[in-house]
Structure formats: C-alpha cells, structure tokens
Structure 1
Amino acid sequence: MMDFDDFSGNLPGKPLSQGEKAAAVLLAMGKTVAGRLLKYFTQHELQVIIACAQSLRSIPPDELTVLVNEFEDLFTEGTGLMDNAKAIEGILEEGLTPDEVDSLLGRRTAFQGYEASIWDRLQDAEPAFIGKFLLREHPQTVAYVLSMLPSAFGAKVLLELPDNRRADIMNRTVNLKNVSPKAAEIIENRVMELIAEIDADRNSAGSTKVAELMNELDKPQVETLLDSLATISREAVGKVRPKIFLFDDLLQMPQRSRVMLFNDIAAEVVTMALRGATLEIRECVLASISPRQRRMIESDLAAGMAGVNPREVALARRAVAQEAIRLSNSGQIQLKESDTEQQAA
C-alpha cells in the first residue's frame, strides 16, 4: 500500500500536498506503468489523487526529478504535466474496469442514483404485485425488467408469472442484448408508473385489509357492513368495494377467466355453490364448464335444496370466490372486464 506520508522533502515552487505528489508520480510514469499500481491504493486514496490531479499545477522536469529520482529514466526533458485531468483518466482506464473508472470520476453518480431509486424501490412491493403488473407488458419488456432487478427478488417475481409464459420470458432474458437508451428510458418510465401504483397500493393498505375481511363473509353480511360504512364515509366505501369479490361477482368476470377458474374446481364444489343460485349465475357458471360436467351438475341440481345445509352452500361459494382472488393475484385471470373490453361489448 502506498502511503502518502512517504513523500517528503522540500520542492521548489509552491509546496505540493501529499496527494499532489502521488498524482505527479503517477502522471509522470505513463498509463501502462501507473495503471499497474492503482490496485495498491484504497478507494479513498484514489479519490484524493484524482481530485489533486484535476488542479495540479505545471511541474517542470527538475522538480519531478527531485520528487521521483528513483524513476528518473522515465522522464524526458520538457515534461510539463499540463493536461492532468485527461492524463489521470487515461491512467485509470489502463488499470481499472470501465465501471470503476466511471464511479471514481463521478460520471454515473446521478444515473446510478436514479437506477438505484427505481430498481431498489421495486423490492418494497410484493413479488405477486410486480408479477401482475408485468403481465400487462410485452415479454421483451418483462425480460429487461427481470434483468435489472436484484437476483433474489427477480427470482421471486419470475415465479409469480404463469407457467405458460415463464419459459419464453426466461429465454428472452438469457438472450437479452444491449437495450438502446431510448428503449430503456421508455421501460424505466413504465417502472416509475409501477412505483406510483405501489405507493398508491401501500397508502390503501387499510382498505385492502377491510376488503380481505369482507371477502370471507356472505353477500348479505357484506352488503350490511358496506351500508353501515356508507353512513360514516362514502369515500371509504368507494375504496373498499372494488377490492371485494363475492360469488355473485362472477357475472362481471370475462368468460375466458371463468373458464380458467372452473377448470380446476371440483364438480361437487361447483354443484354446491350453485344450489339456490339465480338462473343468471347458474347459466354463466355452467357455460364455463365442459358439456359432460354440465350435464352431471344439472342432474344434481334438479333435486333442489332438499336436505342441503345452507352453510355448506355458503362455504362452497366462498371457496370459488377465494380461488378467483388467488388466480387474479397471480395474474392468471381477470375479476372484471377492463374498461376497453366493456366499451367493445
């Protein structure tokens, strides 16, 4: 390790500080030799040398000879060390990686601060939330975002993506090439929108908790509680109601989502959930299952509610609603038609 205090002696002209002396020695050595010495300095020492080199005065050859007489064979008459900033940059590039040079020279300080602010802030959200957002984006965009996330968090987000999309996104991430600055800017702007959604979601944590509680109740109980809440704050109802999903809300679910939902729900659960249901609900559910399963369920429903425990019906409906919420949180289905789809319909 080079110690700045090792340089001593009275030099002509304005006295040099220890950092200036070290910078002068490195500048006089030339890039190749000086670059090999950089690894022996600490980060702090390098920063001091760089700062000194930026303002280092012109040093005549005789002064250099006094300062570094052990290296006198490297000096030639007329060495003036006038372009110190450019010279020290060349030396750094000879011995350090580009990222290390950029960091020491402060080239990327502002950009890295921006990078850290957006990619690190994503870790404040649940992986499922990020995964759901990414499902709206092009797979190539998702690949870029995953490549920028810290590995541990990125892996969790990847597991939140549907199986049928995961392999393609992994392949795109593996083969990801250099992204143009313009494309990166567009993607990062989308990430900033995601961060805004995260902040909004965090601010609405209370309404989310209330909705989760109400999702465990039956429709009459939910309506009673919402009516009671409305007497205090209609604004609070407006925040809570969109996050509630009950069995009857299947009517607002897109058909393709209903098909996916009932694909893995046991026939006996579907049958129990449909007992006593309105004809509209019954038809929308039966239209989402296979013809064979539909015939079996319709046959069972023909018996009506005789001998059926209402509590079992409520539990079956709650099981369907909870499965819908789970699939929605993982980005596999939509609970409601988007505004665009509703307008098209």
Structure 2
Amino acid sequence: MSHAMATNLSGEEKAAILLRAIGEDAAAEVMRHLDPKDIRKIGSHMSAISNISREEESAVIVEFQAAASNGDVGFEGKEYIKSVLTKALGSDKAERILETLTNTSYPGLESLKWLEPKTVAQMIKIEHPQTVAVILAHLDPDQASQILAHLPDFMQADVTLRLGTIEEIQPEVLQHLSDVLQEAFKGGTKTRGCSVGGTKVVADIMGRLDKAMEGNIMGKLSEKDPELAESIRSLMFVFDDLVKVDDRGIQELMKEISKEELPLALRGAGQEVRDKFLRNMSSRAAETLKEDMETRGPVKVSEVEKTQQNILKLCRKLEAEGRIVIAGQGEEMV
C-alpha cells in the first residue's frame, strides 16, 4: 500500500489499522471510551484487515504522522491517540473522548448503553421516576427515546418532566446509582458531578418518538408545566426544520403568513429554508421577496427570532389541524 493508496482509505479504516498497530492493550484502552456505534464501525474494519502487511501498515502510520502537529508527534501516549481519533472521528469528538481518558466515569450507567432499550426499560421501570430520568439523561437520545417508549404510560410524562428540569447531579447520587447497577455489571469508580438533562435533552428524545407518543407525553407535560413544555417544543422544532414540511404544506403555511413576516423571518434562516419557500412561489413573487430581503435595512435579531417563533407556532397549529405534515425522526413516511 503506497501513501497514495493510504489516502484512499476512510478515517475509520485508517483508525482500524492504527489500533491494530499499537497493540491490544493500548487499542483496548482507546476503544473503551468510544461509543458502541463507533466501536462497531471501527471493529468491523479491524476484522476485515487481517492481511495488512508491515509496508501497508507503515504507509498509513506515515500519513498520520504527517498530519499530526506538523509531523513532530511520536506514536506513544496521548498525542498519538489524539492523532488517531482526530483523523477517524473529527477534532470535536476526539477532544471529548480524550477528556474521558483523564477522567473516570460511572461503569454501571455506561454498561446500559450496550443493552437493548426494551431490556433497560424492564430493568428500570420499578425505579423512582427521578432515578429513571437521571439514567436517560446519561444515554444517547436515540436509545433514551426507545427506552422511554417502552416504559409504562403512567411514567412517561413524569419522567419527561423530571428530565427537563435536571441540571446537575451530585457525585454521591451518581455513584450510588452506578453501584446499584453494578449488581449486574462489573466495575466501579468515582468522579465529579456532571451536568445532565435539561430541555435540550428532552427535545432530542421527543424528536425521536413517533408522533402519537410524542403528542401524548407533551400533552400531559403541558398540563403539569406549560412553560417547560413550551420551552421543549421550541427546541424540538426550529425554523430551519421547515425543510421537513412538504411543498404542499409550505404553500398552505404561506397562506397564513403576512407579507411583512416572511421576509423578516427568512433574514435569519438557512439557505435551504429560503430555497424551500422560493420554490413554492411564482417567479414574480420570488423576485419580490428577494428584493425585499436585500433592500430592507438592518433589523434586530430579537425581531427576527420573534417572527420565526410566531411562524413556528402557526406551523404547529396547522399540523395539529391536519393541514400540513412535518416529517419527524421518529416516524416513517408512506
């Protein structure tokens, strides 16, 4: 494998080759801090490269060496691992993983990431809703949403409410919870408290549920805490998400939006959303809208955001009336 051939490999393939090169102990230490999804991806490549020669391995290592710290980084310790992870997973994710290398975690909670959502739901459904909320806050939103879906109906809104108001958990509480979970899983450690939960976590989880379940939970949450429910809704559906509305829905929405509101709202929108609206107008109307946006003077960001929120509320109203459809992450379209 020449250097040119090495550059044709994906980051995950190169990471797999490098992890094999550093030996089982070092590779295991790195893999221990990867998400299950990443481990499966890289692991599958490691299984498929059993016939890599020393020359081929060296070609990949040379490329990593050239890319890391102007070529001055060696192949031992944290800097080497950083170069591997950065190339494979990107700088942001690599930094997060490297932080975990110098901090301890809660193995009991981490172990849940490897279980099927239905299994986790069966394990925790007898726990206090606050305990369940803490557990869900530590899991990937995809897995957390599936676990929430498998919990008893009477628990779902209560757990969601508690999840939305969690900010920081004391280390003693987390340690106790981890210890309890480790009755079934091995390990044990201590660490400092960490910030978990909050409206963003709930919004991520809600966005992955099917519409019926989301509506049921959010309806109950609105009865208990209307302000929290509205905060979650605002994060679940942002203005750029209007690209998920089909063309007929956009046309229906524009019937309800004033001529003054649309150009103002689109001032702070992504290009994809702008194009979505422009495609659903006549050529003349589209040109008029473009001119309005270009010639209008400076406006306050708060005014743009307020207008966008008004349109999003209108959009949710039309969806509730069945006049438009918003494609969500948790449902299939037919």
Q: Normalising by the residue count of structure 2, what TM-score does the alignment of the two structures yield?
A: 0.32
Q: Normalising by the residue count of structure 1, what TM-score does the alignment of the two structures yield?
A: 0.31
